[in-house]
Structures are given as C-alpha cells and as structure tokens.
Structure 1
Amino acid sequence: MVETTTFPRQVSGTAAAGEAPPGGYQFYLTEAHHPQNGTLLGFWLYLMSDCLVFACLFAAYGVLGREYAGGPTGAELFELPLVALNTTFLLISSITYGFAMLQVQQNRIAGTQIWLAITGIFGAGFLAVELYEFWHLIHQGAGPHRSAFLTSFFSLVGTHGLHVTFGIVWLIVLMTQVARHGLITANKRRLMCLSMFWHFLDVVWIGVFTFVYLMGSLP
C-alpha cells in the first residue's frame, strides 16, 4: 500500500465555495496517489471487454462458417500441420513468458530479458506462419471477399493476430523500460499486465484452433 505524507496548513480569511472554512486546515499530498492494485483491476476490466469482442467474432463465425457461396470449404483450405506448428509457437511463448515472470520475482534483470526475448521470437514466428497462411489463401483466390465463411474466418483469426502484434510491440517497449530503469515496481506491474494479456491470447487461440480449424476441417 502506498504511504502518502500530508502537511496541514491553516487557512484564514473567508473561504470560497469548495474550500476549507476559515481557521480550518487544507492538506497537500506530497506524493502521487496510486490505489493498490488499481492498474490490475483496470486491466482485468479491459480483458473482459476484449472477451466480448472475441465472443462476437466467434458468434459471427458460428453463423457464417458454413456459408461457402459455392466456394472452397475449410476442409479444402486448412492445412492442419501448419496450424499445429503455429499453435505450438504460441503455446511455447506462453511457457517462456512464465519463466520470465519467475525471473522477475527473483529480481534478475538479465534472466528476465532473455526469456522475454525468447517469448518475442516465438510470437514473431506465430505471426510469420499466420501471414504465410493468409497470403497462401488469398493467392488461391480464397480471400475475405470470396464468401461469408472466409469473411468471418479472416475477421476472427486476423483480429487475434492483430492482438499478438500489439503484444509483441508492448513486449519490446517493456524490455526497453527494464533495460533503462530495472525491475522497479512500475515495470513489474506492467510485466504482470502483459502476462495476463499474453495468456489470454493463448486461451483465445485454443478456441480458434478447436472451433475454426479442427471443426472446419470436418467434411
């Protein structure tokens, strides 16, 4: 809990609206006031709003996922070995981020930076495979404009990929902050928020892998 020092100051004269009465005291905060766990609570609220976004995208795919408009189906397009490789990259990145947080708890800057860098590499590998998949589908004429199925597919998977992209940018920024200022309280709090965000993306991807790719590959 943040301790705040206050200094009383006696006020004389006539008080204006909202000010201390004559002869009363006004107190001045000498340090920034930050409620305990306020940032984490706010970030949990953000994640809940993000859950609603993905819930809408999953619902749209559930409605439109069989509307092929005479075009290719998921069973004809999806390459499960490639998607399995992609899934492995993201799940391993979640494990490596957990190792980074263990280093944070032990106040080891070098170890934290190493595991964060490894996490970023696996995240970048995930994005590279996903971009290749999108390029391959569009090259086959199966772009988002081809059918309602492909529109909902690109919307859901693309939104998740965009989140991973922002997560990697955030990761790089935090690595820079840790290199400059060390594992101060603010940086530990930010790393914790990114940890929740990264694991949240893993959970969403498991839903995408199961609901979109595995079920979509069925005849």
Structure 2
Amino acid sequence: MSEAALQSGSPNQVWTLPSRGIVGMTCLIIAEVAIFVIFVVAYIFYIGKSLTGPAPKDVLELPIFTTICLLSSSLTVHAAVSALQKSKQGLCSLWLAATVLLGGIFIAGTAYEWYDLIYKHGLTIRTNLFGTTFYSLVGLHATHVVVGLILLSLALFFSVRGEMKEEHSEKLEVLSLYWHFVDGVWVIVFLVVYVLGR
C-alpha cells in the first residue's frame, strides 16, 4: 500500500495502525466484562434467597484495608509504566514491586477472609445460595488477581535484571490495562457483595 493511501485527511498526517497488544487486551477485557456481568447478575438475583444460614450480614465484614491496597496498586502500576517510558528502569522496578506487594496483600486478605468464613462460620460453596454465589464471584475475581500478579511478578523479574527497556513500555502498558480492569471490577464486586448484598 502506498504512503498516499495511508494518509488520512491532512497531507502531512500518516495513519498508523493501533497497537496490536492494546487492541488484543481491549478485546479480552470486553469478553471478561461479559463473564463478570453474568456472575454479578446471578449474585444480585440470589440475594436474600438462601433458605438456610449464614446470611451475608452475619459473616461478611467490609474489606476496607485490602480494597485500599488493591485500588492503590492501579496508581503504582501506572507509575511503573510512566517510569519505563522515561527510561527510568530502577524506578520502574520499584513501582512494580509496590504493585506486586499491594496485590499480594489483597490476595492474602481474601485468603484470610475465606479461611474465616469456612472454618469459623461454616460457609462453603455448598452451604447455601449465598455461599455458592459469593465464592463464585469473589473467587473469579481473585483468580484474575492471581493471574495479574504472576504476570506482574514476571515483569518485575525482567525489570530487576535490567532486561526491560523503554522499548518494552508498550508491553507493560498492555499488562497495566489488565490490572486496571481487575481493580475496576473489584469496585463493582465490593459494592454488590459487601454493600448492597449486606
């Protein structure tokens, strides 16, 4: 295709294809949104329909601290991308480490919550409709967080080794889009499960 065919509108402006990574991640996020919508709607539909206890108000506590940690990790991963775009590899590693730490605290908090619910309150996925929908929705989100943490840990590993350079900033940005999605989904899950559902 000639350069003239690629030009759009202005004679000096050449149209370029959008990043394949960003387009691919956007498509993945759209598909994941559809899955989460199904789980959220199911949770909302079954609120208050359990025939036996325990009920959400009896066992759920607001995970404020872990929520703050997870949402803060969106800022740190953004800072990591910005640092890499400016060729500040050391700063990028520092922000990636902070992101992994904050995400790890969130997962540890979720694990502790589940341990408490199962062993102290006897709430399992088979206990009642609340247990089934709770573990399905929160577990789906936690799985996405774990996947994100694995990928971020790999990025941190390569960053610490000095193998991640400014030219890799777009790849890190693609990963950060996934992490922002995971954080955004948690806002919905938090509101539905811990605010509306109680």
Which category of TM-score, normalised to the shorter sequence, fits these structures? 0.7 to 0.9
- The Cα shift of 1:180 comes to 4.5
| Long gaps (5+) in structure 1 | 1-34
Distance in 2 (alpha carbons) for counterparts of 1:85 and 1:76: 20
Residues 1-219 of structure 1 mapped to structure 2, 5 A cutoff? 36-80=18-62, 83-139=63-119, 140-178=121-159, 179-185=161-167, 187-217=168-198
Cα contact 1:67–1:147 (8 A) shared by 2: no
Distance in 2 (alpha carbons) for counterparts of 1:41 and 1:75: 41
- The Cα shift of 1:102 comes to 1.8
Helix, strand or coil for the counterpart of 2:50? coil
TM-score, normalized by length of structure 2?
Answer: 0.86
Question: Which protein has the larger Cα radius of gyration, Structure 1 or Structure 2?
Answer: 1
TM-score, normalized by length of structure 1?
Answer: 0.78
Distance in 1 (alpha carbons) for counterparts of 2:191 and 2:150: 27
Q: Deviations over 1:63-111 (max 9, x none)?
A: 122222221111111112xx11111110111111121122112110000
Distance in 1 (alpha carbons) for counterparts of 2:48 and 2:57: 11
Distance in 2 (alpha carbons) for counterparts of 1:147 and 1:190: 43
Q: Name whichever structure is richer in helix by fraction.
A: 2
Q: Percent identity?
A: 30
Distance in 1 (alpha carbons) for counterparts of 2:83 and 2:162: 17
Distance in 1 (alpha carbons) for counterparts of 2:37 and 2:152: 25
Helix, strand or coil for the counterpart of 1:72? coil
Q: Name whichever structure is richer in strand by fraction.
A: 1
User: Runs of at least 4 residues of structure 1 off by over 3 A?
Assistant: none
Aligned residues: 180
Q: Deviations over 1:12-41 (max 9, x none)?
A: xxxxxxxxxxxxxxxxxxxxxxx6511211
Cα contact 2:60–2:194 (8 A) shared by 1: yes
Letter in 1 for 2:66: N
- The Cα shift of 1:176 comes to 2.4
- The Cα shift of 1:43 comes to 1.1
Helix, strand or coil for the counterpart of 2:53? coil
Larger relative contact order (C-alpha < 8 A, sep ≥ 6)?
Answer: 2
Distance in 2 (alpha carbons) for counterparts of 1:180 and 1:114: 13
Letter in 2 for 1:154: Y
Distance in 2 (alpha carbons) for counterparts of 1:165 and 1:50: 15
Distance in 1 (alpha carbons) for counterparts of 2:99 and 2:118: 29
- The Cα shift of 1:173 comes to 1.1
